[in-house]
Amino acid sequence: MRALIQRVRHAKVIVEGQTIAQIGQGLVILLGIGHGDGEEQARFLTEKIAGLRIFEDEQGKTNLSIQDVKGEALVVSQFTLYADTRKGRRPSFTDAALPDVAAPLVERFASLLREQGVPTQTGQFGAHMLVEIHNDGPVTIWLER
């Protein structure tokens, strides 16, 4: 499981001209599911993300978590995080889990994040999405389990 997280001031997901998810201060989590990923990986990453101290405190130091700042999360499924570009010019995505495995695990990931006390919305699995991200910092961190 791979997560590319971005600290944001606000973000939203648009599908077919309609805003389906929108958050204020918090994290956009681009989430890739690979073969063999399951509950253990989802639980590890959600606990890590919920406690990750990447928000600024009163002194301007990155000392606070998304829980501390009462931020929100937006989880967007992104199989392209498993792109293999070692050969040729067209990426291979064979390391990404198939939709019947990945879709429920993305939902489970979002549910586990909510259990950590983080209000969480999601994009639409398998849809062509426009993801508007106002990266704050910018702060972008790669996590993998």
Domains and CATH numbers, the chain: 2-138 (3.50.80.10)
Share of the chain above pLDDT 90, in %: 99
Indicate if 122 belongs to the active site.
no
Task: Identify the active-site residue in 19, 62, 80, 93.
Answer: 80
The reported pLDDT for the residue numbered 110 is 98
Residue 115 sits at φ, ψ, to 5 deg, of: -60, -25
Task: Identify the active-site residue in 78, 120, 121, 122.
Answer: 78
Indicate if 22 belongs to the active site.
no
Task: Identify the active-site residue in 6, 79, 109, 121.
Answer: 79
Q: How many CA atoms lie less than 13 Å away from 28 in the CB half-sphere?
A: 25
Indicate if 109 belongs to the active site.
no
User: pLDDT by residue (tens digit) across 20-71?
Assistant: 999 999 999 999 999 999 999 999 999 999 999 999 999 999 999 999 999 9
